Amino acid sequence: MKSVKRVTVFLILLASTTAAQSDRATYLKEFRQRVEHIKHVYDTSQASGFYQAAVRYALRKNVRQADSMFVEALRVPRGDMFWMFPVIGTYLNGREVMSAETKAVVRNAWKTYAPYRGDTENHWAMYYASLFLAAEQWPNLPGSEWYNGKSSDENREEAKEYLFDWARITTTIGQGEFDSPDYFAEYAISTILLAQYAQDPQVRQLGKMLTEYIFADFAVEHLDGQYLGGFSRIYQPAVYKPLLSTASAFAWLYFGTGEPTSSGWIVLPALSGYELPEIIYTIAIDRSKPYVHKERKRVRNVIRYGKEKNPPVYKYTYVTKNYGLGSLHGGILQPIQQHTWGVRYTYGRPYTAIFGLHPYWSGMELGMFFPEEVKTLIADVVASKGTYNNPDKWTSASPFERTFQHKNTLIVLYDIAPGTTAEHINGFFPRNLQERIVDESGWIVCKAGDTYVGWYPLQEYEWKEEFENPANRLNDVGRPVLEREKETGNWRLRSHKLQNGYVVEVRSKDEIGSFERFRAELKKRIPKSTLAPGHVAVEYTTLGGDNMQFRFPEDRKLNGVAVDLSRTKLFDGPYLQADVGSQRLTMTYRNKKRVLDFKTLTISE
């Protein structure tokens, strides 16, 4: 009898192992097909770009043409760190087959063109990852052979030291430029290049672990190709058309979600041969059960107007198979392009998001993070981020905004000082909602496929249909406002009251049944609010029956118990766990476990 049981257990284990292997085999087959798609697109392109050359080199096909393309692309170097990574990436793909003349041109470029290191975390990741790889490729050269006057050894050591310190701070108190759908690519490319091409075994291992770290961070807040929740940085219009973000290109390549793309951002990763561990893509695509995922990140370096260099950022995301609702706790956590909260869903591409914000801008906000003169910083920033001082903008951090989220319910409060830019709040409602009903109870009730969104404004508001084409407007220095295409027909909720707020409820058909039932349930729940300067508060009982009390800015109570955000871990959810200061990330999926230990630089399963 015992032997029968043993055989049965063995067979079950064998079957599950075989199934897992089969799943992995299927995944890898499809992944490689996507890689081939990318190669084909760039192999057949005749433009003289780095990626066209890199693909030809990788395929060992039309190598002389690749040489010409590479040399042409290097003719007028520009782009700083955005030049560095494609140059070294292309070189690494072609070094064994390119001509000696081409090699000399590449080498000379690293001597004569001086890239700027930049002023953001993604800039530095690209800069130092590329510099490290370049210094390895051309070892033992004196400073006279490098643009910065440092020898190969000095450059390699400096880059290595920075990369390890970046890993240390990221895995200790969180990334500063965190969860950015539009800057995910810059990190992913940098770490994948290190993982695949670094000769130094420590840096190679670091690259591998950092790649897994940032992909795991994305995977757990991913739905259908979209990054979920609050973000440090995102551009318009990707904030309301999520699949435009570069992270979505990586989601397609590595998770098989979203839409097929030939984005240049994924060419070097596709050529590198890097394959994502199974546990990460399974976390990314398994949405069979809803879950709460919490994170702690850090504010980018505060250089003035603040007591703490890197205050914490608390992030809360609720993920289901139909939607994700996520939020940062609020305040100025990142200048210019912050996305404090949003709901994103699977229905209705490309407009798959509803969110709100206070469109704030100030010299002081910029002065917190940039060293230039406060009085002229706004004009300086608007030169490249044209929407920054636009009262209609769709990304913003605000010192007058705070959130409180519990599962799929969110409260957002504002206590805006008079005279602030701007004296209103905005809400974004996409044009392709199936329903956008203003119920007599005050709830705005929306339907997006099987996702239902309720929004209860605490103050009077107006609707504005967006017919304006911002691309035709010029900013303060005469440059077109950075918009990628004309947008019309979306709906803007605008409220001019300075003491303000709203409650957002999100449910899916699975969770609550029909849309009519959702609407009926909302009607029974009217938030109680106090909206006076210095005293903005709301009490609300959720559709799930939980009592939320929130007084601006930081007084949050759930069912009568104070919520202590300071206890938030770096990662805390069913799939990812990491304590503050631990330098250790544990990934869990069903019976699988994978631990990244940055102290010992090891991966264990």
Partner 1 sequence: MLKTICTFVGLLLVIASHVANAQKSTVYASVVSTKLFIVGAPNPQTGLFYQRPDDDTTWQHTGRNNIRAFGFDVLASSNGQILCIASGNGVHQSFDGGRTWKITTGWRITEVLSATINPYKQEVLYCTTPYGVFKSMDGGRSWHEKNKGLGALFTPALLIDPRNSDSLFCATEDGVYRSANAGESWQRTGLNVGGVRTLAQHPTDSNILFAGTEDHGIYATWNGGKYWEKMEAGIDHSTFYTIVFDPTNPQMMYAGGYVTGVYKSTDGGRSWRRANDGLTNLNVHSIAVDPTNGQRIYAATMFGGVFRSDNGGTSWRYAGLHGSQVWTIKVLPF
Question: Footprint of partner 1 on this chain (CB under 8 A)?
Answer: 76, 78-82, 114, 116-119, 123-124, 128, 143-144, 147-150, 158-159, 161-162, 165, 301, 303-304, 371-376, 379-380, 383-384, 477, 479
Burial of 371 (0-12, 13-18, 19+ CB in 10 A): exposed
Nearer to partner 1, 156 or 402 (CB): 156
Nearer to partner 1, 126 or 522 (CB): 126
Please answer whether residues 233 and 20 qualify as being in contact, where contact means their C-beta atoms are separated by less than 8 angstroms: no
Instruction: Report the C-alpha gap between 90 and 88 in whole angstroms.
Output: 5
User: Kindly report the CA angle at 422 between 491 and 304, in degrees rounded to 5?
Assistant: 130
Nearer to partner 1, 44 or 144 (CB): 144
Instruction: Report the C-alpha gap between 249 and 218 in whole angstroms.
Output: 12
Please answer whether residues 456 and 482 qualify as being in contact, where contact means their C-beta atoms are separated by less than 8 angstroms: no
Nearer to partner 1, 376 or 600 (CB): 376
Measured from the CB of residue 73, what is the shortest distance to partner 1 in angstroms? 14
Measured from the CB of residue 55, what is the shortest distance to partner 1 in angstroms? 23
* Helical pair 121-137 and 152-173, crossing angle rounded to 10 deg: 140
Report the 10 Å Cβ neighbour count for 504.
25
Measured from the CB of residue 128, what is the shortest distance to partner 1 in angstroms? 7
Please answer whether residues 555 and 561 qualify as being in contact, where contact means their C-beta atoms are separated by less than 8 angstroms: no
Nearer to partner 1, 128 or 323 (CB): 128
Got the DSSP string for 483-537?
-SS---SEEEEEE--SEEEEEEEEEEHHHH--HHHHHHHHHT---EEEEETTEEE
Please answer whether residues 394 and 357 qualify as being in contact, where contact means their C-beta atoms are separated by less than 8 angstroms: yes
Q: Which two tokens stand for residue 23?
A: 């799943």
Burial of 556 (0-12, 13-18, 19+ CB in 10 A): buried
Report which DSSP code applies to 203.
Answer: H
Helix ranges, 301-342 (H): none
Measured from the CB of residue 312, what is the shortest distance to partner 1 in angstroms? 20
Instruction: Check whether the bond before 553 is cis (ω within 30° of 0).
Output: yes
Q: CA distances (Å), 124 to each of 128, 138, 202, in order?
A: 6, 21, 19
Residue type for position 412? V
Measured from the CB of residue 228, what is the shortest distance to partner 1 in angstroms? 28
Instruction: Report the C-alpha gap between 341 and 327 in whole angstroms.
Output: 4
Nearer to partner 1, 163 or 576 (CB): 163
Instruction: Report the C-alpha gap between 99 and 108 in whole angstroms.
Output: 14
Measured from the CB of residue 477, what is the shortest distance to partner 1 in angstroms? 5
Measured from the CB of residue 154, what is the shortest distance to partner 1 in angstroms? 9
Nearer to partner 1, 343 or 377 (CB): 377
Measured from the CB of residue 338, what is the shortest distance to partner 1 in angstroms? 19
Nearer to partner 1, 176 or 457 (CB): 176
Nearer to partner 1, 108 or 434 (CB): 108
User: Kindly report the CA angle at 407 between 394 and 318, in degrees rounded to 5?
Assistant: 60
Instruction: Report the C-alpha gap between 493 and 480 in whole angstroms.
Output: 25
Measured from the CB of residue 284, what is the shortest distance to partner 1 in angstroms? 29
Nearer to partner 1, 150 or 507 (CB): 150
Instruction: Kindly tell me the sign of the dihedral angle through the C-alpha atoms of 584, 585, 591, 592.
Output: negative
Measured from the CB of residue 113, what is the shortest distance to partner 1 in angstroms? 9
Measured from the CB of residue 167, what is the shortest distance to partner 1 in angstroms? 13
- Taking the chain, what is the end-to-end CA distance rounded to the nearest angstrom? 33
Element (H, E) at 314: strand 312-319
Nearer to partner 1, 97 or 374 (CB): 374
Measured from the CB of residue 120, what is the shortest distance to partner 1 in angstroms? 8
Nearer to partner 1, 117 or 584 (CB): 117
